[in-house]
Structure 1
Amino acid sequence: MRNIAIFASGAGSNFDAIVQAVERGDLEANISLLICDRVGAPVIEKAQRHDIDTVVFTPKVYENKAAYEAALVEDCRSRNIDYIVLAGYMRLLGPTLLKPYQNRIVNIHPSLLPAFPGKDAIGQALDKKVKVTGVTVHFVDDGMDTGPIIDQEAIRIKEDDTEEDVKQKIQAVEHRLYPEVIQSLLVKEESK
């Protein structure tokens, strides 16, 4: 069974979805580690409730981004991490982390990339008055939501939808799609 590390910065709704998929047997993986970059983030308590090892790395205490990422890589390697899953991790990754885990770091984004990359994708979609947005799962590269797309799913925005309505539609898709995509990647990896 593959070991995955989840990197998160916030509330952890996608973290919850991944954990639940593992518990149901829909995702055949061992969640070996949660790495969080924010002291006190709600996702930390969620990981502790599931007895998932948690490490909080505060980037400010490191000399630079490369030193911070080297510490992340060291921790992941010490736990034999096969894949890194970003679930609301709000940092761009650099070469120190990307190189050893090339094509083994995935992210989920609340838009149909390449539309609306970066922060507040739902707000961006509403500002542009688009009728369709969605969810993208992609490999991570050194850009802002620019890595190769693995899968996408669209949702319709109705005229009277509020931002909260759209957020709920997006999260419903994310919480189903992300574990499915991770599982398909792990199955492909096993068949190599």
Structure 2
Amino acid sequence: MSCNIVVLASGRGSNLRAIIKGIKDGKINGNISLVISNKKDAGALKIAKENGIEAKFYDPAFFASRRGYDIYIAERIRKENPDLVVLAGYMRILSDEFVEAFEGKLLNIHPSLIPAFQGLKAQKQAIEYGARFTGCTVHFVEKELDNGAIIIQAVVPVLPDDTEETLSERILKYEHKIYPQAIKWFCDGRIKKNGRNVIIENAKYGEVPVNPALEDF
């Protein structure tokens, strides 16, 4: 049975494009029924339309509070009866009500090896801290920002001459690999979560730079 996915995005949509490719290539047993953005000019909306996916912009300015906006968005998402809700560059802090509504089936990707460098500008944080390595993390979304149970991470070295832009671009290449991989595992029912511990059934572990190891992307 195909996994029904809803995607929330605020930006250019490169991770959305990678997920769509994974579906079209037959690697992800799923379909995206809806893409929602809080930005009218988000590239993700254009990508969705180009691929025949329903795309909706909802303006936060029409809502009195972040909570009110999230409640409205959650109700719209429920109409899709999703198996999975994916945050793909969605630049809003979610209310507790939204997180609770989709607990256990809400994923995010963050451009660091969490719990390091949480919040905005994680790449800049890594450079300023003098980190030798950073990367990206796919994790379950929980109420505490960028602190949910980890599904998969990729390690990226910080080079001596890196800028925020160059490091971000190198990390992004790994985001495009590990996010579709995590979604594939979820849709195949291979992710088993016990508190903060996440096990991928029949996955290879201990391989660098990704742990657990990429299989398909």
Specify the TM-score bucket, using the shorter chain as the normaliser. Answer: over 0.9
- Alignment: residue pair count: 191
Paired position in structure 2 for 1:72 = 73
Unaligned runs of 5+ in 2: 193-217
Paired position in structure 2 for 1:139 = 140
The answer on 1:121 being equivalent to 2:122 is yes
Distance 1:142 1:58 in 2: 23
Paired position in structure 2 for 1:110 = 111
Within 5 Å, which residues of 2 pair with 1:15-94?
Answer: 15-94=16-95
Paired position in structure 2 for 1:166 = 167
Task: Say whether the 8 Å CA contact 1:93–1:141 is kept in structure 2.
Answer: no
Q: CA deviation at 1:123?
A: 0.8
Distance 1:132 1:54 in 2: 36
Scaled by the length of structure 2, the TM-score of the pair is 0.83
Q: CA deviation at 1:30?
A: 0.8
Task: Say whether the 8 Å CA contact 1:85–1:106 is kept in structure 2.
Answer: yes
Q: CA deviation at 1:190?
A: 9.6
AA in 2 matched with 1:78: K
Q: CA deviation at 1:96?
A: 2.1
- The one of the two structures with greater contact order (alpha-carbon pairs below 8 A, sep at least 6) is 1
Q: CA deviation at 1:36?
A: 0.1
Unaligned runs of 5+ in 1: none
1:120 to 1:28, Cα distance in 2 relative to 1, 3 A: same
Q: CA deviation at 1:95?
A: 2.5
Deviations 1:17-75 (A, max 9, x none): 11111111111111011010011112111111111101111122123233212221221
Paired position in structure 2 for 1:181 = 182
AA in 2 matched with 1:10: G
Task: Say whether the 8 Å CA contact 2:127–2:162 is kept in structure 1.
Answer: no
Paired position in structure 1 for 2:200 = none
Q: Decide which moves more: 7-16 or 64-73.
A: 64-73
The answer on 1:96 being equivalent to 2:97 is yes
AA in 2 matched with 1:60: A
Distance 1:125 1:190 in 2: 29
Distance 1:161 1:93 in 2: 31
Task: Say whether the 8 Å CA contact 1:92–1:143 is kept in structure 2.
Answer: no
Distance 2:29 2:20 in 1: 11
The answer on 1:155 being equivalent to 2:195 is no
Task: Say whether the 8 Å CA contact 2:110–2:136 is kept in structure 1.
Answer: yes
Q: CA deviation at 1:189?
A: 6.5
Instruction: Name the Cα RMSD after superposition.
Output: 1.7
Identical residues among aligned pairs (%): 36
Q: Decide which moves more: 94-103 or 177-186.
A: 94-103
Distance 1:99 1:115 in 2: 24
Distance 1:101 1:179 in 2: 19
